[in-house]
Amino acid sequence: MLKKFTSVRFILSILLVLSIAFAAYSIYYKVEYWGFNFAPKQNSDVWTIEAHISFEPNGEPIKVSLTTPQNSSAYKVLEENVVASGYKIKKNGTRMVLTAPAQENPQDIYYRVMLFDNIDTRGKTKAPRPPKPQAPVMEEQRLAAAKQILAIAAKLPGDSVSQVIRLLNQVPPEATVQSYLPLKKTQAEMASQLRDLLAIKEIPTRVVRGFRLEENKKSFNPDLMLEAYIDNQWKIYDIKTGDKGLPENFVVFQRGGTSLIDVEGGDNSSIKFSVIKSVTSSISLAGRRAKLAGQKSRFDYSIYSLPLAEQNTLKWLAIFPLAILVIVLMRNVVGLQTMGTFTPMLLSMALVKTGFWPGIICFGVIIGIGLVMRFVLSKLNLLLVPRISSVVIFVIIIMQMLTVAGYKMHFDIGQSAVFFPIIIMAWIIERASITWEEDGAVNAGKEVFYSIVVAIVVYVIIRDEYIRHIMYAFNELNLVILVIVMLLGTYTGYRLTELKRFRPLVKG
Amino acid sequence: MWNWLPRLAKPSDLRKAGVMGMNRRNYDIIAPNNDRRLYPLVDDKVKTKTLANKIGISTPGLIGTIEHQYEVKNILEIVRERKDFVIKPAQGSGGKGVLVILDHNGDTFTTASGRSVSYAEIYQHISNILSGLYSLGGRYDVAVIEELVHFSDIFKDYSYQGVPDVRIIVYKGYPAMAMTRLPTKASEGRANLHQGAVGVGLDIQTGEALHGVQWNEPVTRQPDTGADLMGIKVPYWREHLIIGAKAYEMTGLGYLGADIVLDAYRGPMMLELNARPGLAIQIANGKGLRAKIREIDKFYPQGLTPEQRVDYVLSLKY
């Protein structure tokens, strides 16, 4: 007989190893291909950037070449599509090339890209060292002026890059700067002057095109920023203020590179951008990411492809196995006697909804008044079912009163009464009063107390946003918990409470 | 700093003392030895009584049963000829719902604790039994009315009201461990250790007292009567053991607890059987049960009759 059971344990241990291996693989897979995160960052910003390219054909075959954003650690392209009838589309590295035979009418091409902006990793990525910048070719006089500007800049606050940017943007401008810079100062012109100046100091730089994202902003040109390679990292600078770091609302569209758009076979080309921001839960983005990674079919059969309402329900369900594991541990390993097996779990669920202290106080009030009521009822000698039923109805009345009182007195505690499952409350009252009659107040109090203790332990665990997120996002952990619970079913060691109970039996 | 923590025994020490824990009892002993299908035989006291009488184990006489709510009013008719009687749920456990009536006169009943109880309260109590208040899992139940045991005088000094009984743990038909459970004031006349009754471990070969325990702590005297617990020697000990041993054949349960009372006129009688007897008996005996069970598994012969098994146990030399 004993052999058979050791083999059950053996099989379960193997299952445990297998389930852990499966869960580990599955977690890796979800992080890698679906972009799931261990942190419960619930929402991600998704930006939709639309580029409207228009030009007039000049009778030649048309070739439009457009820079497109590329995936990086800072943001991921979720979806990309082009509306351009009659064009052949080819992706060529970072550039998208559209070709068409000669056209007559004015042309409109729409390019839309959805970006997921991973704010956490912005500007924190290490990059390999770029080659040393080539010193700009300048006439001697201009070079002297440039060196003078650099010398003046060195006295300004900030690091060497922001010093130069600040000097060039000073109002009123420094005399040397004024003579050095051209009259027409476009962003592009400023950027190229800055690059020249910094090249003299042998700082590698590149121009960054992107957008200051404002919701529903339409028809604007990309903003420019400057990135300089300092301390083994690319650091980004605002070319108007010299401030370091990526502004909150700036999304990078293109780094380095040459032109944003080239049109062959057309004149008067223009490109206009519009930006729409939408907030989406990061799990709901997973589908798009899975598609990018070529893992669409597997995703379609996961719970994350369900509508949000269903997902919210499942999110609650996903935390149950962990709560059950805690209860199994509390009962079979610690040895606490609670009222009913899963009552503490339901209590802790209620506590999550009410908040801790309001919930505990509310619970105490309901159970306390309910017990008094139950003792009055026991004097009336009612039959069991009508008696329990009247306790249920009485509990409902207490909840109504507490809720009204809470509302009138602006006292949040009362209002949380509704979250307690009434049947469970009535059942606890009935059970407690019977234990009271049968085994005395001490035993009844102990059972209620242990139930609350277990409920609080479960509450602390399931309230944690991290744990909740992880149990939902990596639901394969439930399989591991299942096997652990089954393994605990073969635990024949002493319970913690038995170490105290059987202490008199220890010899000596 | 940690003084307030209850002092705990080391698991290794408990293992050395052969103590059986709840998990091991459930997993290693009950699960392989007690077929769940057999439980109704011991969970239903009417069934137990019928079975016991069939193989010649005496039990308290059955006065009547009440199965339906409309029959509850018959209680007065059923007990008309009786002075004292006991009302209990057929499927109750742990002494729950047991009402001992010593005397009744018209509509007033006197309970074992001397309290006066009205007919309405008796009616209510039986209703509660029928609706499953005391039964395992809340199933609809039957109220059993049986004769009161006139327990032997030898227990008189040791018991506060209530009925003291002898609990014998029977493993594979062999009496393994025994104790007597003495009701106290704290237990309100009930013989349940967790309610405060005193447990006194009994030598399995002689029926003599070994240790006394109340609330898991050692005691040497009955707290209410002051009687010296070590003076207990249960008479008709072999008959007690034979009842326990026979319960194995009767039920087929490999691990059971037999509750036996000693009636002054009829000798030892089986009160009820338990398929999941508790582990407090170890504390009362000052001994672990696991060591005993290992011994039975290893050395005791198989295929004996109940009497032969009892004699085998009695003949062992330690």
The CA distance from A114 to A251, in Å, is: 12
Rounded to 5°, the CA angle B24-B27-B28 comes to 70
The tokens describing A493, both together, are 């060691």
More confident residue, A12 or B92: A12
Give the strands of the sheet with A233-238, arranged side by side.
Answer: A233-238, A223-230, A205-212, A250-255
Say how many CA atoms lie within 13 Å of B272 toward its Cβ: 23
Which one is predicted more confidently, A243 or B171? Answer: B171
Residues from chain A that touch B217, judged by Cβ atoms under 8 A, are 504
Q: Does A334 touch chain B (CB under 8 A)?
A: no
Average pLDDT in the A111-136 region?
A: 64
- The number of CA neighbours under 13 Å toward the Cβ of A23 is 20
Q: CA-CA distances (angstroms) from residue A151 to A103, A163, A235?
A: 54, 10, 22
Q: Which residues of B touch A488 (CB under 8 A)?
A: none
Mutate which: A9, A387, A433, A498, vs B, most B CBs within 10 A: A498
Q: Which two tokens stand for residue A244?
A: 């370091």
Note whether A505 contacts B17, CB cutoff 8 Å: yes
pLDDT confidence of residue B152: 76
| For A443, nearest residue in chain B (alpha carbons) | B195
Give the pLDDT mean for B148-174: 83
Closest CA in chain B for residue A501 = B216
CB contact under 8 A, B14 and A438: no
Residue A32 in this model has a pLDDT that exceeds 80: no
Separation in Å, CA of B14 to nearest CA in chain A: 6
Average pLDDT of span A83-91: 80
Pairwise CB contact (< 8 Å): B128 & A492: no
Q: Where in chain A is the domain with CATH 3.30.460?
A: 140-257
Q: Give the closest-approach CA distance of A28 to chain B in angstroms.
A: 37
Q: What is the structure's pLDDT at B115? A: 83
pLDDT band at A118 (very low <50, low <70, confident <90, very high): low
Residues 6+ apart with CB under 8 A from A17: none
Q: What fold characterizes domain B61-147?
A: Dna Ligase; domain 1 (3.30.1490)
- Residue B1 DSSP SS3: coil
With H, G, I as helix, E, B as strand and everything else as coil, classify residue B70: helix
CA distance to A430, A500, B59, B184, per residue, from A435 (Å): 9, 23, 29, 18
- Partner-chain residue, chosen from A440, A499, A502, that has the shortest CB–CB distance to B195: A440
Fold of B12-43+152-315: D-amino Acid Aminotransferase; Chain A, domain 1 (3.30.470)
Q: For the CA atoms of A375, A376, A380, A384, what is the dihedral angle to 10 degrees? A: -40
Mean predicted lDDT score pLDDT of chain A: 77
Chain-chain contact of A495 with B23 (C-beta, under 8 angstroms): yes
Average pLDDT over residues A131-158: 78
Best B5, B23, B292, B298 residue to mutate vs chain A (most A CBs within 10 Å): B23
Residue A42 has pLDDT above 60, yes or no: no
Contact: A505, B216; criterion CB under 8 Å:
no
Kindly determine whether residue A493 and residue B10, on different chains, have CB atoms separated by under 8 Å: no
Give ranges for CATH 3.30.470.20 in chain B: 12-43+152-315
**A195-223, pLDDT tens digit by residue?**
888 888 788 888 887 776 665 555 566 77
- Among chain B residues, the shortest Cα distance to A444 is held by B195
- Better pLDDT: B26 or A407: B26
Q: What percent of chain A has pLDDT over 70?
A: 77
**Is pLDDT of A3 > 60?**
no
Nearest to A434 by CA among A337, A339, A331, A335: A339
Residues with Cβ within 8 Å of A98's Cβ and at least 6 positions away in sequence, in order, are A62, A63, A64, A65, A66, A82, A84, A87, A88, A89, A90, A109
DSSP three-state, residue A221: coil
Q: Which of B2, B8, B292 to mutate to test the interface with A (most CBs of A within 10 A)?
A: B8
What mean pLDDT, rounded, does chain B reach?
Answer: 83
Using alpha carbons only, what angle is made at residue A399 by residues A340 and A421, rounded to the nearest 5 degrees?
A: 30
Using an 8 Å CB-CB cutoff, list chain A residues near B17.
Answer: 502, 505-507
CATH assignment of A140-257, among 3.30.460, 3.90.79, 3.40.50, 3.30.1050: 3.30.460
∠ Cα A250 A90 A291 (to 5°): 65
Interface test with A, best of B5, B10, B19, B136 (most A CBs within 10 A): B19
Closest CA–CA distance from residue B254 to any residue of chain A (Å)? 13
Task: Report cis status (omega within 30 of 0) of the bond before B235.
Answer: no
* Interval B263-310: pLDDT, tens: 888 888 998 888 888 888 888 888 888 888 988 888 888 888 888 888
Q: Which residue of A has its CA nearest to B195?
A: A439
A34, A302, A303, A417 from A313: Cα distances, Å: 21, 15, 11, 21
Give the separation between CA A53 and CA B127, rounded to whole angstroms: 86
